[in-house]
A and B are shown apart, each in its own frame.
Chain A
Amino acid sequence: MANTDAIVGWKTITFGCHVMEPGNSVNFRTGDWRSQRPVLDKEKCIKCGMCWIFCPDMAYTQTEEGYFEADMEYCKGCGICAHECPKDAIEMVTEEG
């Protein structure tokens, strides 16, 4: 999952160490830091979006149905969404393997 393009040789460094592509940190998957992952119970969910607004990793996006789902490529598994969910619809499950 981890990518290796963070390693840059001196020959390929840009002038003044400018980064030419805005927001290119999306290429770096922080999901492999995770030891537990949020699992949503859609029956309890009221689509309030608390998980979305309180996510420090901008992992949550709204699906067409209106539910909020975490992108596992960026979710670091901090558990803020599960802790702040007003209906306790999100459960943190330990990652295995």
Chain B
Amino acid sequence: MIPEFEKFKGFKAKSIPKDEPLASGHRACQGCGEVLALRMVMKALGRDVIVCSATGCMEIISSPYPHTAWRVPWIHIAFENAAAVASGVESARKVLKRKGKIPKRHVDIMAVGGDGATGDIGLQWISGAFERGHDFLYVCLDNEAYMNTGVQRSGCTPYGAMTTTSPPGKKSFGQVTWKKNIPAIAVAHNIPYVATASPAYFLDLMNKVKKAALVKGPAYVHIYSPCPTGWGSAGERSIEFAKLAVETRVFPLYEVIEGRYIMSRKITKPKPVTEYLKGQKRFRHLDEGHIDYIQKRVDVEYEKLLRLAELT
């Protein structure tokens, strides 16, 4: 067990910090689930943090020059190298502390990126940073496509989803591949902490992010972020979809502490996936065959996770 976790009691509904390190006035769409997830992440971390933000929705909406929504040190970097810059920041602080140029106190270092920056473009850099073992946390806000450039498919786009580069038609049905399992890739690096979280379960999300910050060494948190604009869903239903994704087993919540899988929320009576699929324009064209396939595959993937939790 990780010694840092013993002191951490976890956030309670009544002890959620009132401080907002992310300010109002950002330009996110109405009902954006991603900025909501980011707000909860920042609430959990507080103000003692340096944020390295990859290009993506969260960078665009929070920092249109000359405005910034960040009340913490923040740096914007290109799509691929959020993890590389975060490791640089960590190393630079280590050296400056050794030379006595900055006070010796702990500051969390967070790299944040979307699913494109994490799963497609920045994967190699993240892998490098995990492998070198820098003390930072990587937060992936997964809205399942490249939303800020106009909904292009990414590696994390789920099976059958419509995007502008995977359009459904007579001979196609949207995205043909299954969603890339990035938490599993992070686990494969043998890093001390990996977790998945959803903004619908805000205490769970905040506890996981705090744990990821406390742990010494690299940590990875994969956060599911509903996107009303890209998914063609109603803005007010963002949280509902985040909840449904967990209840239908589409996005299971778990943490992996030093290789041990722990299910955060066991779904014993799952809802059918159709409840999650309907209401989203990106899944509207799917026929029964595809929905059956999704249901079966979701069950298989969940079963795999349960097995892993039992084995480890």
Contacts and interface: CB of A to CB of B under 8 A. Distances in A.
| Chain B binds chain A | yes
Interface of A: 5-6, 8, 14, 17, 19, 21-30, 33, 49, 53-59, 62, 71, 74, 76-80, 82-84, 92
Given A76-B30, A80-B236, A8 B65 contact: yes
B39 interface: yes
A77 B30 contact: yes
Contact of B67 (A24, A55, A79): A24
A56 B39 contact: yes
A82 to B, nearest CB: 7
A25 B16 contact: no
A58 B66 contact: no
B22 A58 contact: yes
A8 B66 contact: yes
B195 interface: no
Interface in B1-53: 13, 16, 18, 20, 22-28, 30-33, 35-36, 39-40
Given A19-B68, A80-B236, A30 B27 contact: yes
B24 A71 contact: yes
Interface string B206-241: 000000000000000000000010000011111110
A92 B26 CA distance: 22
Interface stretch (B69-77, B106-114, B155-163, B272-280): B69-77
Contacts of A76: 30
A27 B68 CA distance: 10
B36 A83 contact: no
A23 B70 contact: yes
Given A77-B30, A78-B31, A83-B239, A22 B24 contact: no
B77 to A, nearest CB: 14
Interface residues of B, number: 40
B30 A25 contact: no
Question: By DSSP majority rule, is chain B's interface helix, strand, loop, or mixed?
Answer: loop
Contacts of A59: 24
Contacts of A54: 36, 199, 202, 239
A28 B66 contact: no
B237 A27 contact: no
B81 interface: no
25 contacts: A6-B64, A19-B63, A19-B67, A19-B68, A23-B71, A24-B67, A25-B24, A25-B69, A26-B23, A27-B25, A27-B67, A28-B25, A30-B26, A54-B36, A54-B199, A54-B239, A56-B31, A56-B35, A62-B18, A78-B228, A78-B238, A79-B31, A79-B236, A80-B238, A82-B236
A19 B239 contact: no
Nearest to B21: A23
A22 B67 contact: no
A28 B68 CA distance: 10
A86 B99 CA distance: 54
B62 interface: yes
A71 B23 CA distance: 13
A26 B24 contact: yes
B32 A56 contact: yes
A20 B25 CA distance: 17
A67 to B, nearest CB: 15
Given A25-B24, A53-B40, A58-B20, 8 more contacts: A19-B65, A21-B68, A25-B25, A30-B24, A54-B202, A78-B30, A78-B228, A84-B240
A25 B236 contact: no
A36 to B, nearest CB: 10
A74 B27 CA distance: 10
Contacts of B235: 78-80
